[in-house]
A = this chain, B = another copy of it.
């Protein structure tokens, strides 16, 4: 082996050690959500803080830094993929290096405290119990933005962590269009549309049978239960210990089976991406998801383009009806399809429909941006929240748990994360449009319960690459253009015109460039 190859192997070993700790941290978090007894929380927080600090120490060691600089200077002796790994690792190293260990530890501790305060505030339905910890968190996030640095807006520094290269300047344009087009579209449907009967969706659905049905749907998608498992938790999520152990969670309520179904398919979509990453690249950038936007494109594509389609329910509705003969007695697949696709504003993001969902994201985007640049303050943020729900969705928020306390993200220090939910949905529509073009029989196969062609298409075009391409590069490679909201709008108009039985001129995709 040449010296440079040996040094590359050293780099791989160091990155994999860091990944070992990160995977272990993920297990600590997963266990907290799924298993941990209440009294263990505070020492568990300390354990997480110790591991986080160690990850940071290893990820910013001068030994690793020198190795990366040296390898980067000798890129010509490496393969294309090796060089890409080094280039990306160096960028991460340089960014991580900007955060002193003191900050990392304080941030980790603040998360544990904020999470606990958020839980207590939810229990008491009282935002004021959370306010102080949220303020600490926002101050730390401002400091983080300062430490990392930014060109135009402090929020840019945070968004970049989840969606490389995305900025307030770009997102303002995108969300401006979202607001204009989606609010108009929702209004149009309200005026012209005929709502469908959907009360049967809230009948009694046995919990164990729901669980079994969820497992069946996941198996059909291609989720590998020998390389993962599903559990129950308060909020559904996906977590990865390696591409051979990707776990998901769901929640089950007796009268809302669609929540369970939606979360299984959504988290299943995330998990398929993680399971499809190249396991040989464990711990290296090419073994990791390229961005949260692309991650969300995978979950959303399965959840919406597939899981809310007529083709999907052609095969799965009879199976569901077999499991729940009483609740679904006399219902046809067409009735079911229309019922699950009704549009209705609601104050809870996670159960929002495909259209209103993006107004929820928009509200959070504006608040995060405003907190970062000083437009808003934590003090009366619940009032700001409620006013936006009135303005954008026409809703009165009944209490804080259905308002500002509904999401865990801020308690976990995740600012800049929400916009990726919308980006993901728009990427999903664009990718799916291309997949249908590439696979003319796609929906027929889905209607037969055969998800393999779609999964293979996603594996080939997206999963196998890891971080080799950025979101935008990936989108260019696959669809021949960057992200374009028109695909989503065309998908929505075409779909809801049928569901709400109103005429629509055929919308072609406009190229905004």
Contacts from A to B (Cβ < 8 Å): 16-17, 20-21, 23-24, 27-28, 31, 35-40, 42-44, 46-47, 49-51, 54, 224-229, 241-242, 244-245, 279, 282
Docked complex Cα distance between A241 and B225 (Å): 27
Interface centre among A20, A42, A44, A51 (most CB of B within 10 A): A20
Find out whether the CB atom of A23 lies under 8 angstroms from the CB atom of B38.
Answer: no
Docked complex Cα distance between A252 and B450 (Å): 38
Find out whether the CB atom of A51 lies under 8 angstroms from the CB atom of B20.
Answer: yes
**In the complex, which residues of chain B have a beta carbon less than 8 angstroms from the beta carbon of A245?**
36-37, 39-40, 43-44
User: Which 8 A/B pairs are nearest by Cβ-Cβ distance?
Assistant: A40-B245, A20-B50, A43-B242, A39-B227, A39-B244, A20-B47, A40-B244, A39-B226
Question: Shortest beta-carbon distance, A267 to chain B, in Å?
Answer: 15
Question: Shortest beta-carbon distance, A119 to chain B, in Å?
Answer: 15
Find out whether the CB atom of B229 lies under 8 angstroms from the CB atom of A37.
Answer: yes
Docked complex Cα distance between A412 and B38 (Å): 31
**In the complex, which residues of chain B have a beta carbon less than 8 angstroms from the beta carbon of A46?**
16, 20
Find out whether the CB atom of B242 lies under 8 angstroms from the CB atom of A37.
Answer: no
**In the complex, which residues of chain B have a beta carbon less than 8 angstroms from the beta carbon of A17?**
50
Docked complex Cα distance between A40 and B20 (Å): 13
Given contacts A37-B228, A245-B36, contact A21 B50 (CB under 8 A): yes
**In the complex, which residues of chain B have a beta carbon less than 8 angstroms from the beta carbon of A31?**
27, 31
Find out whether the CB atom of B50 lies under 8 angstroms from the CB atom of A241.
Answer: no
Given contacts A50-B17, A241-B44, A242-B43, contact A24 B28 (CB under 8 A): yes
Docked complex Cα distance between A279 and B38 (Å): 15
Find out whether the CB atom of B226 lies under 8 angstroms from the CB atom of A38.
Answer: yes
Ordered by A's residue number, 11 sampled pairs between the chains whose C-beta atoms are within 8 Å are: A20-B46, A21-B50, A21-B51, A24-B28, A36-B245, A37-B228, A37-B245, A39-B244, A42-B244, A43-B245, A44-B242
Interface centre among A27, A38, A224 (most CB of B within 10 A): A27
Out of B40, B50, B54, B227, name the residue touching A40 (CB < 8 Å).
B227
For A13, give the chain B residue with the smallest CB separation.
Answer: B50
**In the complex, which residues of chain B have a beta carbon less than 8 angstroms from the beta carbon of A42?**
244
Interface centre among A31, A42, A226, A279 (most CB of B within 10 A): A31
**In the complex, which residues of chain B have a beta carbon less than 8 angstroms from the beta carbon of A20?**
46-47, 49-51
Docked complex Cα distance between A47 and B282 (Å): 12
Find out whether the CB atom of A43 lies under 8 angstroms from the CB atom of B244.
Answer: yes
Find out whether the CB atom of A37 lies under 8 angstroms from the CB atom of B226.
Answer: yes
Docked complex Cα distance between A241 and B36 (Å): 10
**In the complex, which residues of chain B have a beta carbon less than 8 angstroms from the beta carbon of A36?**
245
Docked complex Cα distance between A54 and B43 (Å): 20
Docked complex Cα distance between A117 and B10 (Å): 29
**In the complex, which residues of chain B have a beta carbon less than 8 angstroms from the beta carbon of A229?**
35, 37
Q: A27-B28, A40-B227 are in contact. List 4 more A-B contacts (CB 8 A).
A: A23-B43, A31-B31, A37-B229, A47-B241
**In the complex, which residues of chain B have a beta carbon less than 8 angstroms from the beta carbon of A54?**
54
For A50, give the chain B residue with the smallest CB separation.
Answer: B20
For A30, give the chain B residue with the smallest CB separation.
Answer: B31
For A18, give the chain B residue with the smallest CB separation.
Answer: B50
For A49, give the chain B residue with the smallest CB separation.
Answer: B20
**In the complex, which residues of chain B have a beta carbon less than 8 angstroms from the beta carbon of A23?**
43, 47
Question: Shortest beta-carbon distance, A263 to chain B, in Å?
Answer: 19
**In the complex, which residues of chain B have a beta carbon less than 8 angstroms from the beta carbon of A241?**
40, 43-44, 47
Question: Shortest beta-carbon distance, A30 to chain B, in Å?
Answer: 9
**In the complex, which residues of chain B have a beta carbon less than 8 angstroms from the beta carbon of A43?**
23, 241-242, 244-245, 279, 282
**In the complex, which residues of chain B have a beta carbon less than 8 angstroms from the beta carbon of A282?**
43
Question: Shortest beta-carbon distance, A45 to chain B, in Å?
Answer: 10
Find out whether the CB atom of A24 lies under 8 angstroms from the CB atom of B39.
Answer: no
Docked complex Cα distance between A54 and B51 (Å): 11
For A228, give the chain B residue with the smallest CB separation.
Answer: B37
Question: Shortest beta-carbon distance, A429 to chain B, in Å?
Answer: 32
Find out whether the CB atom of B51 lies under 8 angstroms from the CB atom of A24.
Answer: yes
Docked complex Cα distance between A20 and B47 (Å): 5
Docked complex Cα distance between A54 and B24 (Å): 13
For A36, give the chain B residue with the smallest CB separation.
Answer: B245
For A23, give the chain B residue with the smallest CB separation.
Answer: B47
Question: Shortest beta-carbon distance, A26 to chain B, in Å?
Answer: 10
Docked complex Cα distance between A10 and B277 (Å): 42
Docked complex Cα distance between A137 and B27 (Å): 28
For A53, give the chain B residue with the smallest CB separation.
Answer: B17
**In the complex, which residues of chain B have a beta carbon less than 8 angstroms from the beta carbon of A16?**
46
Question: Shortest beta-carbon distance, A311 to chain B, in Å?
Answer: 30
**In the complex, which residues of chain B have a beta carbon less than 8 angstroms from the beta carbon of A24?**
24, 27-28, 47, 51
Question: Shortest beta-carbon distance, A422 to chain B, in Å?
Answer: 32
**In the complex, which residues of chain B have a beta carbon less than 8 angstroms from the beta carbon of A49?**
20
Question: Shortest beta-carbon distance, A282 to chain B, in Å?
Answer: 6
